[in-house]
Amino acid sequence: MNIGNWFRIMCLSLLSLFFVIAAGCDGQPQVAVGERHSHSAVSRVESALAAIELFAEHNIFITVDEKGALAQAAKLDRQHEQGQVSGPLHGMLIAVKDNIHIAGVANTAGTPSLKGMIPTVDAEVVARLKAAGAIILGKSNMHELAYGITSNNAYFGAVGNITDKEYFAGGSSGGSAVAVAAGITNASLGTDTGGSVRIPAALNGLVGFRPTTERYPSDGLTLISQTRDTVGTIARTVGEVALLDAVLTGQALDGQTADLIGLRLGVPKAYFYDNLEPAIAEQMSALLTALERAGVDLVYEDIGRVAELNERVGLPIVLYETGKLLDAYLKAHLPDVSMATLVEAVVSPDVKAIMQSVLRGDITYAIYADALNNHRPILQKAYRDYFNEHHVEAIIFPTTPLTSRPIKGTIDAVELNGQQVPTFASYIRNTDPSSNAGVPGLSLPLGTTDKGFHFGFEIDGPKNTDLRLLAIAAAIEKLDIGSE
């Protein structure tokens, strides 16, 4: 049975279990934050634990912190009985990607050599969520060492797409996305280097937010790039993402939405709209039409040299920084494990090849410095100039050029419009440039194929305009896009 149909049946029979489902069992459940207070936190955690078992074949979690989650829930219930609410996230269930530290819970980063890494202190992002009343359910599965976009983890198991477990979830924060899509958690934390939050969000019908680099604290993370990495959030609605952003930054959107009338959005057709899967191309066209009807001024201009500049920046920076960061991480947390030992134990073949390149030092300091100090500033200037010269507040494009593909046989290549194309480069094509520029990007659900596979669209804004980008997204989210 198709997992989408099975999910509908499960919803109807187990509706009382899934506190997060507020409307409809159509494979795209919606969260009502207020519902968190209508049942005990303990019962909601117990329901979520039962749901994890139901979705066991999707390999969503690496570690479930049952004891910790139930203890936090019991504490919240005691507060609730006394008429107290611990914070704006009171009772919200959160999954945390397994490269973000939770005190007392193993932090594997999806690789066997780190199974013995037990942090003693929460990452700051986790501490802020807990202080606001969130319940951390556990550590979600991911592409090994965050070096991939499918979450096909050969050691802990491939994360299955919400529509069909035989198809990949996207990555590298795949478990974080499917935890939300399956109705197990309200929201999740992931990390995003070049698309690792936005890609799985798009492929599972969710909202995924990559903030401006350095907007969120980055301590307590198993980083692979200090220049490019950031924590990101995944939820069902822009409002929930904005709520998490407010907790993590102290800057509240307060329900604001942008006025679409007169809003100027850039549409960079060249590069970002090339070679799209037909369903995505059709629905993007419908979205642009709906935006124009709503009063948005679409500016059809391209970002100059974006492909060339992005290629010169992306991999040289991350490959060089990975070697330095992981070596320092091991020395700080697992001094008995060397980089050579870690690389030797990597199980996923695509990650193994990358990590062997890192270990060899294929990217020299000269190459890295050129990418960081010369090419990246030019790419960042290209984005600034685009926003300023065309007077646009954001750009809009498909998050990925294609939908999910089967897990088996797609490590290196996937089919797109009758041709075999490289898996990694194809899925990351549209999300990578803004990551390298360090600007905020947010993926929203756009539609599904006739087989039920999800895809999304992204809006990127200038650096440090995160709240404005969220307000624009909240307005677009309300549109009835339909199809042409």
Nearest to 442 by CA among 202, 257, 179: 202
Residue 63: left (phi > 0), alpha (psi -120 to 50), or beta?
beta
Catalytic residue, chosen from 151, 196, 404, 434, is 196
Q: Largest alpha-carbon pair distance within the chain?
A: 62
**8 Å CB contact between 80 and 135:** no
**8 Å CB contact between 355 and 145:** yes
Active site residue 173: no
Within a domain: residue 124? yes
Give per-residue pLDDT as tens, 275-310. Answer: 999 999 999 999 999 999 999 999 999 999 999 999
Length of the chain counted residue by residue: 484
Within a domain: residue 76? yes
Give me the residues paired with residue 105 across strands: 102
Instruction: Please state, for a pLDDT cut of 70, what percent of the chain lies above it.
Output: 92
Q: What residues contact residue 433 under an 8 Å CB cut-off, 6+ apart?
A: 303, 306, 309, 310, 379
Whole-number average pLDDT of the chain = 92
Q: Is 282 helix (H, G, I), strand (E, B) or coil?
A: helix
Tokens representing 444 are: 């929203």
Give per-residue pLDDT as tens, 329-361. Answer: 999 999 999 999 999 999 999 999 999 999 999
Give per-residue pLDDT as tens, 132-166. Answer: 999 999 999 999 999 999 999 999 999 999 999 99
**8 Å CB contact between 297 and 309:** no
**8 Å CB contact between 100 and 220:** yes
Nearest to 442 by CA among 483, 477, 410: 477
Within a domain: residue 102? yes
Within a domain: residue 129? yes
DSSP state of 39: S
The predicted pLDDT at position 45 comes to 98
Within a domain: residue 13? yes
Mean pLDDT of 107-125: 98
Distance between CA 442 and CA 475 in Å, rounded?
13
Give per-residue pLDDT as tens, 445-456. Answer: 999 999 999 999
**8 Å CB contact between 225 and 317:** yes
Distance between CA 274 and CA 254 in Å, rounded?
37
The predicted pLDDT at position 39 comes to 73
> What CATH number should be reported for the domain holding residue 88?
3.90.1300.10
pLDDT surpassing 90 at residue 484: no
> Phi and psi (nearest 5°) for 107?
-120, 90
| Confidence band for 225, pLDDT divided at 50, 70 and 90 | very high
* pTM (2 d.p.): 0.92
- How many structural domains does the chain have? 1
Distance between CA 56 and CA 407 in Å, rounded?
16
Catalytic residue, chosen from 47, 113, 140, 172, is 172
For 31, the domain range is: 3-249
Distance between CA 227 and CA 214 in Å, rounded?
9
Residue 141: left (phi > 0), alpha (psi -120 to 50), or beta?
beta
Active site residue 97: yes
The predicted pLDDT at position 85 comes to 86
pLDDT surpassing 50 at residue 111: yes
* Pairing outcome for strands 264-266 and 394-398: parallel
The predicted pLDDT at position 19 comes to 34
The predicted pLDDT at position 38 comes to 54
Catalytic residue, chosen from 47, 97, 113, 434, is 97
Distance between CA 332 and CA 326 in Å, rounded?
10
pLDDT surpassing 90 at residue 33: no
Identify the helix (H) or strand (E) that includes residue 397: strand 394-398
Within a domain: residue 254? no
Within a domain: residue 398? no
Within a domain: residue 113? yes
Residue 221: left (phi > 0), alpha (psi -120 to 50), or beta?
beta
Tokens representing 190 are: 């992931």
